Amino acid sequence: MSEEKVTIDGKEYAVEDFSETAKQNLISLQLVNQKIAQNQQELAILQTARNAYASVLKEQLPEGKKAKKSKKVN
């Protein structure tokens, strides 16, 4: 069975050599990294949806009328 290793700042470490506190911090770091990745994916989905809604809205705007100054949609 191969031992689990992690690379931190370009240096490889055997997890079995970590203290219990270091192991817990590693687990926390891995969980946070997963959550960040999930949130980045969710943000990409939301931005895609936003762009689609803005595009559809622009197609639905009445033509030939001057727009009043207001909030920018996109």
Q: How does pLDDT run across 9-61, given as a tens digit for each residue?
A: 999 999 999 999 999 999 999 999 999 999 999 999 999 999 999 999 999 99
Does 7 map to a domain? no
The domain total for the chain is: 1
Model pTM score: 0.70
For residues 51 and 40, what is the distance between their CA atoms, to the nearest angstrom? 16
CA-based nearest residue to 6, from 19, 23, 62, 20: 23
Domain that residue 31 falls in: 19-48
Question: In this predicted structure, what is the pLDDT of residue 19?
Answer: 97
Residue 2 in domain: no
Classify residue 54: in a domain, yes or no: no
